[in-house]
Amino acid sequence: MLRLTLLKAAQSQRVRRLVTSAPGSRSLVGRFVVGETLEEAVQATCGLVGEAFAVTLDHLGEDTLDEAQAAATRDTYVALLDRLGELGLAAQTEVSLKLSTVGQALPHDGHRIALDNARTVCAAAQRAGTTVTIDMEDHTTVDSTLAIVGELRDDFPWTGAVLQSCLRRTEADCRDLAHAASRVRLVKGAYAESASVAYPAKADVDLAYVRCLKILMAGEDYPMVASHDPRMVEIAGALAKQYGRAPGSYEYQMLHGIRASEQRRLVATGERVRVYVPYGQDWYGYFMRRLAERPANVGFFLRSIVSR
Ligand code: FDA
């Protein structure tokens, strides 16, 4: 219930104004978001790469209905990728891109505009020597997003896809994407969805995650196990052994600021671990989804406001 309320609030302009102006917000946001500028993102990346992590950088934002804004976001990614190339960080650092930030939600021609912008970002990644993973948003965008990933893969076969185990369709999508050279990030799903398309009970989302993991680990793809759930991490390790996968033929991914000690433990055992590092000014939607994932974060957030 609290999760759904927070996810609905993530769409509300009124709550956005309240949360972004609350004095206690910044300190908790700082746990999840490394900063607002490219240089802050680069600095955080250097630190993580120095600790043997791989990184995926996300320039925060969502759902633009303005074509000029979509083009500006595309250019921000291109500048970021150029900088990663210059600094020699591209081998360990890719980027994550939300198609809604580059035009997918535009009422006219959104699919094509998002594809064109994403293509420009992929070309910049190719020049820099790295890759792009296309984040997945709510279920209404899945067909368009997977179609765009498919088109991008014609020119940039390394383009990563994200699948959400909460959706009833996802096992079938995993089977479609479990082919050679296909990079697939498996997540549980961070959006409010109805029971007609998604499993309402968390236990069913978890079981579906395991079924999807089995398909991806058994396939010829490159699975990216994106979860902080200790059971999923353990099961992924067991499945990798069962299917004869060596470390490096799959990877773990976790969000910046969540279970950092587990991230370090996995690296110390020789696993490849990628940290998802968000930066930018438009942190509201991302922050609310992180609050929704863990009620304890909400208590901490409210206490930090009240104590001021
Ligand atoms: P679960 O929610 O069961 O959490 C397991 C444990 O992890 C918790 O008990 C707690 O200890 C810890 N934890 C989890 N979330 C926490 C939080 N916010 N604060 C503190 N502790 C927390 N989703 C999506 O829809 N599209 C996408 O493209 C992506 N991309 C993505 C990339 C990466 C690298 C990750 C790790 C996750 C995503 N997600 C995502 C988010 C994902 O769908 C999901 O909402 C979160 O990962 C939480 O689910 P878990 O699998 O971690 O398990």
**pLDDT score, position 22:** 75
Residue ranges of domains in the chain:
1-33+283-308, 34-282
Whether the per-residue pLDDT at 44 is higher than 90: the answer is yes
**pLDDT score, position 11:** 78
**pLDDT score, position 139:** 98
Of 187, 277, 300, the residue with max ligand 1 atoms within 8 A of its CB, to mutate for a pocket test, comes to: 187
- The answer, yes or no, to whether any atom of ligand 1 lies below 6 A from the CB of 228, is yes
Residues 6+ apart with CB under 8 A from 238: none
- The answer, yes or no, to whether any atom of ligand 1 lies below 6 A from the CB of 189, is yes
**pLDDT score, position 307:** 55
| Pairwise pLDDT comparison (300 vs 132), residue with the higher score | 132
User: How do strand 132-134 and strand 161-164 relate by DSSP bridges?
Assistant: unpaired
Angle at 53 between CA 82 and CA 282, to 5 degrees: 55
How does pLDDT run across 5-14, given as a tens digit for each residue?
Answer: 877 777 777 7
Query: CATH assignment of 34-282, given 3.40.50.720, 3.20.20.220, 2.60.34.10, 3.50.40.10?
Result: 3.20.20.220
Residues 6+ apart with CB under 8 A from 194: none
Mean pLDDT of 66-89: 97
DSSP state at residue 249: S
Amino acid at 227: S
**Percentage with pLDDT > 90 across the chain:** 79
* Ligand 1 atom having least distance to the Cα of 135: 28
Whether the per-residue pLDDT at 67 is higher than 90: the answer is yes
- Residue 9 Cα to ligand 1 midpoint, Å, equals 18
- The answer, yes or no, to whether any atom of ligand 1 lies below 6 A from the CB of 271, is no
Cross-strand bridge partners of residue 59: 279
**Nearest to 60, CA basis, from 301, 276, 293:** 276
> CA-to-CA distance for 109 and 122, rounded, in angstroms?
20
- Residue 33 Cα to ligand 1 midpoint, Å, equals 14
